[in-house]
A and B are shown apart, each in its own frame.
Chain A
Amino acid sequence: MAQAGVGDRWRPPRGRHRLPPEVVARSQRERLLEAAIRVVATKGYGAMTVSDLTGEAGVSRTTFYELFEDKETCFLAAYDNAVDVLVRRVTRAYEAERDWPDRAAAGLAALLETLADEPALARLSLVDVGNAGPAAQRRYRAAIQRLTPLFEEGRDFAPRGRNLPANTSRMAIGAVTGLLADELVAGRAEQLPGLLSDVLFATLVPYIGPDAAAREVDRLTR
């Protein structure tokens, strides 16, 4: 499957060429963003230097500073980019289904598959984001916010949804991210899709209870 975030990408030919400067700049920027994700995954945000980024992306230091203020702005741009891809895929999968449990299962499956395909991105979004300071933490909260509808629609589906605490979707999200982070910290990103029944249960249970959640999980993951 072609990945929008990481992987081989067209590069302008080295040496003299006639590409318009803005095309070259865009490609250099994208290479730096991809490099940021890979470098953070291998050495962590704290140890990452601008030289790591320019080395990995094959661009000069001067070019780096033309495009980004410092390593943090580069990292944050990479993060936003990665989250955009992730949220788009999850939303597309989710919207293709009709009933909420089916929608939740499709969205979560897309989430797990994307994260398993791109372990670097997964670590970055769920584990390392805390290392990158308050700005990254706020970005992380905002990204999670964009996935809230996947959970919050459970309120309309639940028999007495209006009686549920206002914080219900935040609880479900906390439970899901806890399960994912645990797996990622243990270095088992490729096994994330195997967590589907657990994360689906955690998503459904505050809205419909353990018995109905177990039945739905059974139906949707068989």
Chain B
Amino acid sequence: MAGSETRRQLILEAMVRVVGRKGYKATSVADVIEEADVSRTTFYKHFEDKQECFLAAYDLVTERVLDAVIANCDAEQPWLERMRVGLATVVEMFALDPELARTAIVEVAAAGADARQRHWNAVAKFTEFLADGEGVAGDRELPENIALMAAGAVSGLIFDELLTGRAERLPELLPDLLFAMLVPYIGPSAATAEMRRAAAG
């Protein structure tokens, strides 16, 4: 018999799968308990409703993506390298797991204002992690919101790609994503050079 924490975890995993497959709107608590193979009582012991469960599942997803990024990135790496590795990690994760990708980027937009707020916090946190470090901006004075701009550009491109159902092709988009992420910091000439390097490597 699985413990209470394990059952909670199973429900969250099931939520990510079902929402990625059917979309947030069409997902019901019945779908989730069937996928998780738990009772309705168990579900409501852990969560108030579908929305609350989704928010917890979303936190799990972002934590997992950010953990993978941190694991692959090395604090000693130059920040340019860290951005490339970080983006490649996300894109490969999404390509291998299109359901996770759809939940993380597309369906979160359908899950209400709280979910969207979480989404923007997560992408900004991700960008800040990658852009943090010396030399990102040189001695430029950059706008405060710059991480959000870079994150918005990157997640917009991924969103479009997923909306047309092409998760497995995301890695091909890596050079463009890298350009989008770098350009507010270093400008188009340097970002184009990095993009070419990424495409060649």
Contacts and interface: CB of A to CB of B under 8 A. Distances in A.
A110 to B, nearest CB: 20
A175 B143 contact: no
A146 interface: no
A170 to B, nearest CB: 6
B130 interface: no
Contacts of B25: 46, 131, 133
B179 to A, nearest CB: 5
Contact of B156 (A164, A170, A206, A207): A170
Given A177-B152, A178-B148, A182-B120, A206 B157 contact: no
A57 interface: no
Nearest to A134: B23
A54 interface: no
A158 B120 contact: no
B112 A179 contact: no
A28 interface: no
A93 B120 CA distance: 30
Interface residues of A, number: 43
Interface in B145-197: 145, 148-157, 159-160, 163, 175-176, 179-180, 183-189, 191-192, 195
- The contact size tier of chain B is 35 or more
Query: DSSP class of A's interface residues: helix, strand, loop or mixed?
Result: helix
A7 B154 CA distance: 37
B188 A127 contact: no
Given A207-B188, A211-B140, A179 B117 contact: no
Contacts of B142: 210
A185 B180 contact: no
Contact of B187 (A46, A134, A209): A209
A23 to B, nearest CB: 37
Interface stretch (A30-38, A82-90, A112-120, A194-202): A194-202
B116 A141 contact: no
Interface in B107-163: 109-110, 112-113, 116-117, 120, 123, 137, 140-143, 145, 148-157, 159-160, 163
B180 A206 contact: yes
Contacts of A206: 153, 179-180, 183-184, 188, 191
B120 A141 contact: no
Contacts of B151: 178
Contacts of A209: 183, 186-189
Contacts of B154: 171, 174
Given A205-B183, A211-B140, A179 B189 contact: no
Contacts of A44: 112
Given A130-B110, A170-B156, A165 B184 contact: no
A137 B117 CA distance: 19
B153 A165 contact: no
A163 interface: yes
Nearest to B151: A178
Contacts of B191: 206
B70 to A, nearest CB: 23
B120 A130 contact: no
B149 A198 contact: yes
B176 A167 contact: yes
A186 B120 CA distance: 11
Contacts of B184: 175, 201-202, 205-206, 210
**7 tightest A-B CB contacts, nearest first:** A174-B156, A178-B152, A209-B187, A130-B109, A171-B153, A175-B149, A171-B180
Given A141-B163, A206-B191, 12 more contacts: A160-B188, A165-B176, A165-B192, A171-B156, A174-B159, A179-B149, A197-B143, A205-B149, A206-B179, A209-B189, A210-B140, A214-B140
Interface of B: 23, 25, 109-110, 112-113, 116-117, 120, 123, 137, 140-143, 145, 148-157, 159-160, 163, 175-176, 179-180, 183-189, 191-192, 195
